[in-house]
A and B are shown apart, each in its own frame.
Chain A
Amino acid sequence: AQSVAQPEDQVNVAEGNPLTVKCTYSVSGNPYLFWYVQYPNRGLQFLLKYITGDNLVKGSYGFEAEFNKSQTSFHLKKPSALVSDSALYFCAVREDTGRRALTFGSGTRLQVQP
């Protein structure tokens, strides 16, 4: 079985400061990891993914995430937060074999204060 944990319901950060949104996962095989963002009354938008290769992956809007196999984590980061980054962020995982659908975390609300 696969699972994802996002331990923080909400993260508050001041504009211009670095931000981190945490995600840990559990899978039997090798993980494929994804981050999505959801703005109010909108569907989910893809930010980035880790499939294989470099542990640091870069995505849209200046976001990046670091895959850490030993800690089974895939934290989302951005060096300098913008007010417009305020949204709901979801981490998702699936194994390289098995069920094709993604398993999502419960989401973390990011609030960037001006």
Chain B
Amino acid sequence: GAGVSQSPSNKVTEKGKDVELRCDPISGHTALYWYRQSLGQGLEFLIYFQGNSAPDKSGLPSDRFSAERTGGSVSTLTIQRTQQEDSAVYLCASSLSSGGRNEQFFGPGTRLTVL
């Protein structure tokens, strides 16, 4: 079956512009996660959705970052007034449920470059 898909694969924007990144999780997966991978760094957790529960936003670095998940499926990560330090690869992952036993399946990522 299809894996996690993300779009766009690459995004170049100018400082101060808003960007939207999209994630389509694996069908039937109720948990969805956003991570950020900066050059030479590990993965940094951003936000997590589980079904209809309130999302865990504890990893969002500033109020310029927000995310939605519509209908329990597709998610959009929005970065407002982008800064150069926002340049990174943004990875989305999904899992069957929020139970910690379930491995997360990752998408290919969106590489964001802020000029």
Which A residues form the contact surface with B (CB < 8 A)?
32, 34, 36, 41-46, 49, 51, 90, 92, 94-96, 99-107
Q: Which residues of B contact A34 (CB under 8 A)?
A: 103
In the complex with contacts A102-B45, A104-B43, A32-B4 CB distance below 8 A: no
The residue on B at minimum CB distance from A45 is B106
Residue pairs across A and B with CB atoms within 8 Å: the count is 58
Interface residues on B, range: 20 to 34
Q: Which residues of A contact B59 (CB under 8 A)?
A: 101
Which B residues form the contact surface with A (CB < 8 A)?
4, 31, 33, 35, 41-43, 45, 48, 50, 56, 58-59, 91, 93, 98, 100-101, 103-109
Pull 7 A–B residue pairs with CB atoms less than 8 Å apart, ordered by A. Answer: A43-B4, A43-B91, A44-B91, A44-B93, A44-B106, A104-B42, A106-B42
The residue on A at minimum CB distance from B34 is A101
Q: Decide: A106 and B41 in contact? CB cutoff 8 A.
A: yes
Q: Decide: B109 and A95 in contact? CB cutoff 8 A.
A: no
Q: Decide: A32 and B42 in contact? CB cutoff 8 A.
A: no
Q: A43-B91, A43-B106 are in contact. List 7 more A-B contacts (CB 8 A).
A: A32-B101, A44-B91, A94-B100, A101-B33, A101-B59, A102-B45, A107-B42
